[in-house]
Copies of this chain bind each other. A is one copy, B any other.
Amino acid sequence: MTGTTQDDYTDRYARRVSGMTTSEIRALFAVASRPEVVSLAGGSPYIAALPLDAVGEMMQKLAAQQGTTSLQYGIGQGTVELRERICEVMALSGITNASPDDVVVTVGGQQAIDLLARLFLDPGDVVLAEGPTYVGALGVFQAAQAQVHHVAMDADGLIPEALEEAIASLALAGRRVKFLYTIPTYQNPAGVTLSEERRERVLDICERAGLLVVEDDPYGMLSFEGEAPLPLRARRRDGVFYCSTFSKTFAPGLRVGWILAPHAVREKLVMASEANILCPSAFAQGAVTQYLTTMPWQEQIKVYREVYRERRDALLSALTDLMPAGTTWTRPAGGLFVWATLPEGLDSKAMMPRAIAARVAYVPGTGFYADGTGRGNMRLNFSFSAPDRLREGVRRLAGVMEQDLAMRAVFGGSAAISSQRRRGPAAGDTPGPDLA
Contact = CB atoms under 8 A, between A and B. Distances in A.
A275 B20 contact: yes
Interface stretch (A61-69, A313-321, A338-346, A347-355): A61-69
Question: Chain A: interface secondary structure?
Answer: helix
- Chain A interface residue count: which class? 35 or more
Contact of A284 (B29, B125, B142, B284): B284
Interface stretch (A163-171, A189-197, A257-265, A301-309): A257-265
Contact of A75 (B26, B67, B178, B255): B26
A332 B252 CA distance: 41
A291 to B, nearest CB: 11
A278 B253 CA distance: 11
Contacts of A74: 253
Interface stretch (A49-57, A151-159, A370-378): A49-57
A277 interface: yes
Nearest to A67: B52
A410 B391 CA distance: 88
Interface in A109-161: 110-111, 114, 118-122, 125, 136, 139-140, 142-143
Contact of A55 (B64, B279, B281): B64
A70 interface: yes
B276 A72 contact: no
28 contacts: A4-B264, A9-B262, A13-B268, A16-B118, A22-B271, A23-B274, A26-B75, A30-B75, A52-B63, A52-B71, A56-B62, A56-B67, A57-B64, A59-B60, A59-B62, A59-B63, A71-B253, A71-B254, A72-B251, A72-B252, A107-B281, A110-B278, A114-B277, A253-B282, A253-B283, A255-B284, A276-B276, A283-B284
B108 A9 contact: no
Interface in A176-201: 178
A53 B55 CA distance: 17
Interface string A1-37: 0111111110011111100111100100110000000
Given A4-B262, A72-B251, A55 B48 contact: no
B284 A281 contact: yes
Contact of A5 (B4, B263, B276): B263
A75 B30 CA distance: 8
A282 B253 CA distance: 5
A44 interface: yes
Contact of A276 (B2, B110, B252): B110
A264 B7 contact: yes
B72 A63 contact: no
A432 interface: no
A142 to B, nearest CB: 7
B14 A252 contact: no
Contact of A120 (B13, B44, B68): B13
Interface string A214-257: 00000000000000000000000110000000010001111100
Given A9-B262, A108-B277, A281-B254, A271 B67 contact: no
A73 interface: yes
Nearest to A125: B14
Contact of A251 (B71, B125, B268): B71
A322 interface: no
